[in-house]
Amino acid sequence: MNLTISGHHLEVTPALRGYVSDKLDRITRHFEQVMDVRVLLSVDNLKEKDRRQRAECNIKVKGGELHAESAHEDLYAAVDELVDKLDRQLVRDKDKRQTVDRVAGKHLM
């Protein structure tokens, strides 16, 4: 799994990089065919302080690509919310793939 973490208007510290990589390890628990993960952490100059910190992620898996983003006043909370969204998407994608494989297998017999 290739992991790229970058920041926009923000310096990505080693602590933040470690936190993001530890959280993203949860993704490989459900789906082991993750090829590439790109995370963008940013700080926006919005007047709303509660949605200022943003986290976005693109995941390339075998057969497709998934995208999720979240915004929060705390960057660590935004990362947590992002990983939860990605986890749900990957579980749903994996269930779809298994259902299609089962249906295709029944037609072959």
pLDDT digits (tens, 9 = 90+) for 70-89: 999 899 999 999 999 999 98
Tokens of 59: 């995941």
Q: Is the dihedral of CA 14, 20, 23, 28 positive or negative?
A: negative
| Other beta carbons less than 10 A from residue 53's beta carbon | 21
For the chain, the 3-state helix, strand and coil shares in percent, each to the nearest 5, are 50, 30, 20
pLDDT tops 80 at residue 61:
yes
Q: What percent of the chain has pLDDT over 70?
A: 84
